């Protein structure tokens, strides 16, 4: 699951022409560590929706990698 | 301590700084095109243009050469300056504000994406753009957070509200990357006006309740009840107002929730026809060759539902504009840019719904068979980033065999997201 999420994030980075990340840590903040702005978070949420059929932000904001994984696992 | 006019990152400008800089300006440009959208420079030049009665055109500082050309402009023209013969000297903000309020002939023009053809130039009179500015003793101590792009109509209206009451304005725009909570505490912000996208981004990081915030305004996107609940919790003393505004007419209606009240002063100037379309009288609008009137009336294309005689609710936008975090994007403009990329045979730009920005730009592309998918995606994004503002850049690119059309030959602009069927809404 974590690897799939890493693939999704790296695909976003590659397409945007920015450097990819090697490892995804659960405590990483989407905003502060992965430097995601609102447009990137919106992109992440639709990519996850396509992959896992879960709306990441359905009941509020998700801040960390751990929270993203928990949301996907609950679906 | 001198009264603060504007705080922007580490820079702070007092009203005395503003007066000094106004007195030292010896030239003007008919266009306000400020690199990196520096808010102080933009506000200074707006005030200066009013004082010297030079009507102005405000452009986004991040417009690319391509986007300027689409407006029929070029870099030389928009950066050209003219010398002022008689430089005026102002001694106080009172003097400046009194003179500003008498400049009834001043106009400001903004560009907005149209559903067809070139972006529309809309010229607002001073009276229409400041129509909803409230003044008086009860507003004197307001401290405003500037959470809009300063070159767009909502940002300009917040600026005038702050200026006319000699308030402090705290720049907090940038799609949520600024820590609004720190600014609220540091500057004692009392009033915030922003898009729902902005609130959704910044409020998630709030750690405290802020009782000193007394006005929260949001608009530009569909009303979001769950956001209203979060706002009520974080700002328990704030009056929360939902605003309906258009680039053609500025702020027009406000409400405490989803239902908009038609105030008696404009009740004769709006109409809802038998198809539930909202029509505005021309007196509520700016001037433009691109606003097509039927008699004295303008069809907004927005569909509304009457709740009572005085209340109505927005159902949807009647046009094809995509709303990304409060910014309207014309899919046809984006398609024109993507079609310039070698390897792209056809494309269709759509809005994909999401909980962060309302909608997001996605594109279906028919490509040449031998072109590599991954490389073409990178090329499309790089080309779009170079020629378009960031919220217009497609975030998801899907390769398809063909672009479907409707019976009338129009591209069928319906997004195919798993949880996101539907047409753009405001």
> pLDDT tens digits for B223-269?
677 788 889 999 999 999 888 777 677 677 777 677 887 777 778 88
Topology at the third CATH level for domain A2-74: 1.10.1200
CA of B157 vs chain A CAs: smallest distance (Å): 24
The answer on pLDDT for B363 being more than 90 is yes
- Kindly tell me the burial class for residue B380, based on how many C-beta atoms sit within 10 Å of its own C-beta (0-12, 13-18, 19 or more): buried
Which ipTM value was assigned to this complex? 0.93
Separation between Cα atoms, residue B288 and residue B72, nearest integer Å: 15
- How many domains does the structure of chain B reveal? 2
For position B13, what pLDDT does the model report? 97
Residue B277: name the closest of B246, B301, B253 by CA. B301
Average pLDDT of chain A, as a whole number:
89
B363 φ, ψ (degrees, to nearest 5): -140, 135
Q: Could you tell me if A53 lies within 8 Å of chain B, comparing CB atoms? A: yes
Mark out chain B residues that contact chain A at CB-CB < 8 A.
Answer: 175-177, 197-198, 200-201, 203-205, 226, 324-325, 352, 354-357, 360, 362, 374, 377-378, 381-382, 385, 390-391, 395-397, 417-420
Least confident of B131-145, B357-371, B408-422: B408-422
At residue B341 the predicted structure's pLDDT band, cuts being 50, 70 and 90, is: very high
Q: What is the mean pLDDT of residues B136-150?
A: 93
Asked whether residue B180 is domain-assigned, the answer is yes
Asked whether residue B301 is domain-assigned, the answer is no
B328 φ, ψ (degrees, to nearest 5): -85, 130
The answer on pLDDT for A48 being more than 80 is yes
Examine the domain organization and report whether B240 and B336 are in the same domain.
no
Reduced 3-state DSSP string for B149-201: CCCCHHHHHHHHHHHHCCCEEEECCCCCCCCHHHHHHHHCCCEEEECHHHHHH
Among the partner-chain residues A39, A56, A63, the one whose CB lies closest to the CB of B395 is A39
Residues of A in contact with B360 (CB under 8 A): 39, 42-43, 46
Residue B332 CB neighbour total at 10 angstroms: 16
Residues of A in contact with B374 (CB under 8 A): 14
Structure tokens at B374: 């991954």
Structural domain containing residue B47:
4-257
The answer on pLDDT for B179 being more than 70 is yes
Contact A32, B204 (CB under 8 A): no
Closest residue of chain A to B200, computed from CA coordinates: A61
What is the sign of the dihedral through the CA atoms of B8, B12, B16 and B18? Answer: negative
DSSP β-ladder status, B239-246 and B215-219: parallel
Among the candidates B224, B242, B257, a domain finishes at B257
Quick check: pTM over 0.95? Answer: no
At residue B423 the predicted structure's pLDDT band, cuts being 50, 70 and 90, is: very low
Examine the domain organization and report whether B83 and B195 are in the same domain.
yes
Q: Could you tell me if A14 lies within 8 Å of chain B, comparing CB atoms? A: yes
Among the candidates B214, B229, B257, a domain finishes at B257
Please, which residues bridge with residue B366 across strands?
B346
For position B145, what pLDDT does the model report? 96
Average pLDDT of chain B, as a whole number:
85
For position B191, what pLDDT does the model report? 97
Examine the domain organization and report whether B181 and B46 are in the same domain.
yes
Separation between Cα atoms, residue B184 and residue B145, nearest integer Å: 8
Examine the domain organization and report whether B198 and B346 are in the same domain.
no
Q: Could you tell me if A33 lies within 8 Å of chain B, comparing CB atoms? A: no
The predicted-structure confidence for B377-389, as pLDDT tens digits, reads as follows 999 999 999 999 9
CATH of the domain at B327: 3.30.300.30
Separation between Cα atoms, residue B321 and residue B425, nearest integer Å: 9
Asked whether residue B109 is domain-assigned, the answer is yes
Reduced 3-state DSSP string for B255-295: ECCCEEECCCCCHHHEEECCCCEEEEEHHHCCECCCCCEEC
Residues of B in contact with A61 (CB under 8 A): 200-201, 203-204
């Amino acid at each position: 699951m974590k690897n799939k999420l890493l693939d999704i994030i790296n695909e976003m980075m590659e397409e945007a022409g920015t450097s990819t990340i090697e490892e995804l840590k659960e405590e990483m903040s989407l905003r502060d560590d992965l430097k995601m702005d609102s447009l990137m978070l919106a992109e992440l949420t639709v990519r996850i929706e396509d992959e896992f059929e879960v709306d990441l932000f359905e009941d509020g904001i998700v801040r960390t990698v751990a929270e993203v994984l928990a949301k996907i696992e609950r679906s | 301590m001198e009264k603060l006019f504007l705080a922007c990152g580490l820079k702070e400008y007092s009203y005395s700084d503003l007066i000094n800089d106004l007195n030292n300006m010896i030239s003007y440009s008919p266009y306000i095109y400020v690199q990196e959208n520096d808010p102080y420079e933009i506000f200074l030049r707006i005030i200066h243009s009013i004082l010297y009665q030079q009507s102005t055109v405000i452009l986004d500082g991040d417009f690319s050469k391509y986007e300027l050309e689409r407006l029929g402009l070029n870099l030389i023209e928009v950066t050209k300056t003219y010398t002022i013969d008689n430089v005026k000297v102002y001694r106080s903000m009172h003097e400046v504000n009194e003179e500003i309020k008498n400049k009834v002939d001043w106009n400001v023009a903004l560009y907005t994406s149209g559903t067809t053809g070139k972006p529309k130039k809309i010229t607002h009179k001073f009276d229409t753009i400041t129509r909803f500015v409230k003044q008086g003793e009860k507003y004197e101590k307001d401290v405003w957070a500037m959470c809009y792009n300063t070159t767009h109509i909502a940002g300009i209206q917040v600026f005038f509200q702050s200026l006319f009451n000699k308030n402090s304005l705290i720049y907090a725009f940038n799609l949520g990357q600024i820590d609004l909570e720190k600014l609220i505490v540091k500057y004692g912000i009392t009033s915030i006006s922003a898009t729902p996208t902005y609130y959704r981004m910044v409020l998630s990081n709030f750690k405290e309740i802020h009782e000193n915030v007394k006005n929260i305004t949001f608009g530009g996107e569909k009303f979001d009840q769950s956001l209203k609940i979060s706002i009520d919790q974080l700002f328990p003393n704030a009056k929360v107002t939902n605003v309906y505004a258009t680039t053609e007419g500025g702020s027009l209606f406000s409400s405490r929730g989803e239902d908009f009240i038609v105030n008696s002063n404009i009740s004769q100037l709006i109409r809802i026809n038998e198809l539930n379309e909202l029509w505005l009288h021309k007196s509520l609008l700016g001037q433009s060759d691109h606003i097509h009137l039927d008699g004295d009336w303008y069809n907004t294309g927005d569909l509304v539902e009457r709740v009572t005689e005085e209340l109505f609710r927005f159902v949807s936008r009647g046009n094809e504009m995509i709303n990304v975090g409060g910014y309207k994007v014309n899919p046809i403009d984006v398609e024109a840019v993507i079609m310039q990329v070698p390897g792209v045979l056809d494309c269709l730009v759509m809005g994909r719904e999401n909980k962060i920005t309302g909608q997001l730009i996605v594109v279906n592309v028919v490509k040449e068979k031998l072109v590599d998918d991954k490389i073409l995606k990178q090329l499309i994004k790089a080309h779009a980033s170079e020629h378009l503002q960031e919220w217009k850049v497609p975030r998801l690119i899907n390769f398809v065999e063909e672009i479907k059309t409707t019976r009338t030959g129009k591209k069928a602009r319906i997004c195919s997201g798993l949880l996101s069927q539907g047409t753009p809404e405001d």
